[in-house]
Chains A and B, each alone.
Chain A
Amino acid sequence: MKTALTVNNRINRLFEQKQGDILSVYFTAGYPKVDDTRLIVETLANAGVDLIEIGIPFSDPVADGPTIQASSQVALDNGMTLEKLFTQIKNIRTSVDIPLILMGYLNPIVQYGLPAFCDEAKAVGIDGLIIPDLPMHEYMDQYKALFDQNGLHNIFLVSPQTSEERIRLIDKNTDGFIYMVSSASVTGAKSDITTAQEDYFKRVNNMGLKNPALIGFGISNKVTFQKACAYAKGAIIGSAFIKQLSAEQDLQTSITGFIKTIKD
């Protein structure tokens, strides 16, 4: 049974319409320049990306490797805030129709005020949230009702160490997709996928979960993207994309060029 919420959510719609090779891209809002957010989102959407994760920068991103740490620091030095982010993506729905997810650590969200955050996220047309340091039981007790009211899917991470029992619990309590962290690792581009990783992808794939999965962390190029897509509906590229942005090149050209190397 699909609820009304599920039907209207762009994340669910995407997975209904597209069965594989879903390309999701993460970038840190406020990087490289504070006002680049909107241009990056629009360029990614035009380049044929299926889903975008907009990172909310935080001073202490413990799940992130050097690339995202550095982009977060630059974004904060640029004066990026959650308030600015909401202003930048106001009316984004006039130009972009793919699902948009906000990804960030809990503290900036809590300081913004949870109800206000949910209101704003809904108002600008956000479809889902990834909050790596929000514990599941706390989400169930204190966040889920509010997220649901605002049409926000909370996306959970699983890692190679996550027990089968817990993966099933996560699957039960989530809607949208499951974020499979590709290895025991913080974020960061890696050049290959090992057979041990493939075994883990297969294991989760064979569990018959109700939610589709996307694989993220370490996906960096066409080879790793395609390998990941063999075991999941698609994959997420973060650090490798941010490295493209660091190059002193015209943003649109470098974004479009990079996405082409993955898709073609």
Chain B
Amino acid sequence: MQYTVDDNGYYGTFGGAYIPEMLYPNVEELRQQYLAIMEESSFQKEFNMLLKDYVGRPTPLYLAQRLSEEIGCKIYLKREDLNHTGAHKINNTIGQILLAQKLGKKKIIAETGAGQHGVATATVCALKGVECVVYMGEIDIRRQKPNVERMKLLGAQVIPALSGSKTLKDATNEAMRHWINNPVDTHYIIGSVVGPHPYPDMVARFQSVISEEIRWQLQEKEGRTQPDYVVACVGGGSNAAGAYYHYMDDEQVKLVAVEAGGEGVDSGKSAATTFLGKPGILHGSKTLLMQTPDGQVVEPYSISAGLDYPGIGPLHAHLFEKKRADFIHITDEEAMKAGVGLGKLEGIIPAIESAHALAALRKMKLAADDIVVVNLSGRGDKDLETYIKWGNY
């Protein structure tokens, strides 16, 4: 397993746990216990039951006929958009709420960008009757209004992050500060494969159910477990990590990671981390990071709030460095067109994050007999306002 985390919490040269001492006891407790708890049969039983009966898993692996015809190969959509709450994010929050309870934690905090992770966290907190605080950048609160109200409907408190760029990175800073201030009874549910070890590995494991299902679903449909390509968008990288997980060591399966190009990688308004970033340290891990020569983190930009993050998870930085995954960047315009296109072709309006993955299909060199799985990480309900503003449909 050359792409999974090593004993010290690193993926090659990336990862680690670069945290202030005030967070050390919490992160260390988690590091010592997460694997043992996840292996407990009582944990697995409840996790699998909730994924099935509450989230609605397995999610379908759907052969998109008309899209396949248009692109010219066989395209399957892994329908994470059909999960309860509308995205893959809930796979992780179900896992982490159960883990938090095993650790005896009474309160939950989370950060959110698009609001999908915030909603998924608020949902599992309601399910378990646990107090929930979600930090969200002030700018994201404005552009993802329906999700803010959903979190409130579910009983969560939404606190605007007013510092820095007022988006996902700052919401993450605020959540970390909250955790420093409340170290004993609180668990921090990070929403992607970012943060200090063991978060990237823990979140990837909870999301790995995506590729676990793809394997047997593809076996049923195609008589083989391996597609030629797995395509996923990368914000922090959790849906991609889940879709890649059981294929990472199988080099026959090509992994395609799609980053948000924003208005173009040279425009100064982009979130394409692997193209614009270099190794650096943010939010507890060493990873690829968009930054000034002086080491200040640069404000990213994408039309999609869920991809608007200046880093990527350390696993993805490693996949990039080792050239195990192909990194592609897609502009706002390309993503919006692909999102609108899928509505018309397949009757599925995707999240704008997922639309980036769909747009990548047009940039790949595909053969007629290729089998491609696109991870449709979420549905577009939360993005209606952005689609409407965009027009062109």
Contact = CB atoms under 8 A, between A and B. Distances in A.
Note whether A and B form a binding pair: yes
Interface of A: 58-66, 69, 73, 76, 81-83, 105-112, 132-135, 138, 156-159, 161-163, 166, 181, 184-186
B291 A186 contact: no
Given A60-B169, A62-B173, A135-B19, A108 B24 contact: no
9 contacts: A60-B164, A60-B169, A61-B173, A62-B180, A63-B180, A106-B18, A138-B16, A181-B21, A185-B180
Contacts of B283: 60, 62
Interface string B136-175: 0000000000000000000000000001100001100100
Contacts of B282: 60, 107
A159 B19 CA distance: 13
Interface stretch (B201-209, B252-260, B293-301): B293-301
Contact of B164 (A73, A81, A138): A73
B291 A107 contact: yes
Contacts of B18: 106, 133-135, 138
B16 A62 contact: no
Contact of B294 (A63, A108, A156): A108
Contacts of A66: 163
A161 B23 CA distance: 9
Contact of B280 (A110, A134, A185): A110
Contact of A59 (B20, B26, B176, B296): B296
Interface stretch (B181-189, B241-249, B340-348): B181-189
A155 to B, nearest CB: 11
A48 B19 CA distance: 33
Given A62-B173, A110-B280, A161 B295 contact: no
A60 B173 contact: yes
A-B pairs, top 10 by smallest CB distance, nearest first, are A111-B295, A108-B295, A132-B20, A157-B21, A59-B296, A63-B20, A161-B25, A107-B295, A133-B18, A107-B281
A134 B286 CA distance: 11
Given A62-B176, A111-B295, 9 more contacts: A63-B177, A105-B281, A135-B17, A157-B22, A159-B183, A161-B24, A161-B184, A166-B24, A185-B181
Contacts of B182: 184
B284 interface: yes
B297 A59 contact: yes
A53 to B, nearest CB: 15
Contacts of A163: 25
Nearest to A80: B294
Contacts of A107: 280-282, 289, 291, 295, 297
Contacts of B17: 135
Interface residues of B, number: 34
Contacts of A135: 16-19
A59 B21 contact: no
Given A186-B177, A186-B181, A59 B164 contact: yes
B164 A106 contact: no
A106 B281 contact: yes
A62 B284 CA distance: 10
A162 B25 contact: yes
Contacts of B24: 161-162, 166
B206 to A, nearest CB: 24
Contact of B22 (A61, A138, A184): A184
A107 B293 CA distance: 11
A61 B163 CA distance: 10
B294 A82 contact: yes
Interface in B261-295: 280-284, 289, 291, 293-295
Nearest to B9: A135
Nearest to A70: B163
Interface in B302-351: none
Contacts of B291: 107, 111
Contacts of A106: 18, 281
A76 B280 CA distance: 18
A179 to B, nearest CB: 9
Given A82-B294, A186-B180, A133 B20 contact: yes
Nearest to B8: A137
A76 B163 CA distance: 14
Interface in B1-37: 16-22, 24-26
A133 B281 contact: yes
Interface in B353-383: none
Contacts of A159: 21-22, 183
A61 B177 CA distance: 9
Contacts of B21: 132, 156-159, 162, 181
Given A157-B21, A161-B183, A186-B180, A60 B295 contact: no
A76 to B, nearest CB: 6
A61 B18 CA distance: 13
B22 A110 contact: no
A229 to B, nearest CB: 22
A133 B180 CA distance: 13
A217 to B, nearest CB: 9
A83 B173 contact: no
A133 B149 CA distance: 35
A111 B22 CA distance: 24
Contacts of B19: 133, 135
Contacts of B26: 161
Contacts of A76: 296
A73 B296 CA distance: 11
A177 to B, nearest CB: 14
A204 to B, nearest CB: 13
Q: Most A CB atoms within 10 A — which of B18, B173, B291?
A: B18
A110 B281 CA distance: 9
B180 A184 contact: yes
